[in-house]
Amino acid sequence: MRVYTDERMLLHDAGAAQPERPARLKCMLDRLQSEPLPGVQLHGTRLAEWAEIERVHDADYVQKIQSLSGQVASLDWDTNIAEHSVPAARLAAGAGLEAVDAILSGEILRAFAWVRPPGHHAERDRAMGYCIFNNIAIAAEHALQHDDIERVLIVDWDVHHGNGTAHIFDERADVLVFNCHQSPLYPGTGRADERGSGPGEGFTINVPLAAGCGDQEYEAAFLEHLLPAAAAFRPQLVLISAGFDAHERDPLGSMQVTDAGFARLAGLVLDIANQHAQGRVLAMLEGGYDLEGLAGGVWATMGVLREG
């Protein structure tokens, strides 16, 4: 499998007080250098074009971010941009675009985009929760531009509800969005009765879990709620909003998922992909704020998703 990343994303530094900090990516790059994983190659990314971002975000919002390039600004109470943040956000989105193209052309089967800023809280019209552009939604829309892709599954196992992704695809039947998250917790959305609207009704699945849940509860949630829905939906591509803040070490979440637990979740997602999507999986990094927990979860996931 390929890891799509770019050291220019290390330059996005929204302030020393931010848990979403450059060291998150740096620790993984350092670890890959000291402990190479067989079958895993690093690959660069590219700047997403503004038009590609506008498939998901309102033009007014995209223009606002474009105009802030090179500047320092506060977008919401916990989302700041600094001098190099806008190119970093375009590279993060671009990693998904590059990976989707490589997967759908048959060049590779699976990829992990090591990106920051993360994306799943970003709404159509605003930044939120450290997220500027919704990377996974942009990747899903890009996949759906390909002639032979009509159904994409997004599995979001970040400890926080991926509100942006859920709202962007709320009325859509071609993107099944599965969210398993701690509740109550930021951002407060993602109740079990939020199931999508209009033609998208039934294509949004939320499994809120109480604080303190671990490997067993997550596995049960996937077995009970994700597997039957995926079998009915038959996705042709599977995307993972891979956050690792449900890790037992994480300071923001209160869950108890272990490295082995993340490997199990990745295995269940891979089973779905093998059954319906020719094994095609793209994971994109979301949260995860303890460096050891983050790298542990990422390595466990890659151990399952890598080929050979």
Q: Which amino acid is at 20?
A: E
How many angstroms separate the CA atoms of 225 and 98, rounded?
A: 30
Cis peptide bond N-terminal to 19, omega within 30: no
Q: Using CB under 5 A as the criterion, what x/- string covers residues 259-298 for binding Zn ion?
A: ----------------------------x-----------
Neighbours of 188 (CB within 10 A): 11
Q: 179 or 204: whose CB is closer to Zn ion? A: 179
Q: 203 or 244: whose CB is closer to Zn ion? A: 244
Question: Is 161 among the residues known to form the active site?
Answer: no
The one segment of 40-48, 86-94, 237-245, 257-265 that binds Zn ion by CB under 5 A: 237-245
Residue 160 as a binder of Zn ion (CB under 5 A): the answer is yes
Considering only residues 42 to 81 of the shown chain, the ones binding Zn ion according to CB under 5 A are none
Residue 158 as a binder of Zn ion (CB under 5 A): the answer is yes
Instruction: Give 204's contacts (C-beta < 8 A, 6+ positions apart).
Output: 166, 169, 170, 176, 177, 179, 194, 195, 196
Residue 120 as a binder of Zn ion (CB under 5 A): the answer is no
Which of the following is catalytic: 121, 167, 181, 247? 121
Among 98, 141, 174, 245, binds Zn ion (CB under 5 A): 245
**Contact status, residue 48 vs residue 93, Cβ threshold 8 Å:** yes
Hey, which residues does 25 pair with through a beta bridge? none
Residue 2 as a binder of Zn ion (CB under 5 A): the answer is no
Q: 117 or 200: whose CB is closer to Zn ion? A: 117
CA 122 to chain centre: 11
Residue 243 as a binder of Zn ion (CB under 5 A): the answer is yes
DSSP-derived 3-state class of residue 251: coil
Interface ranges with Zn ion (CB under 5 A): 158, 160, 243, 245, 287
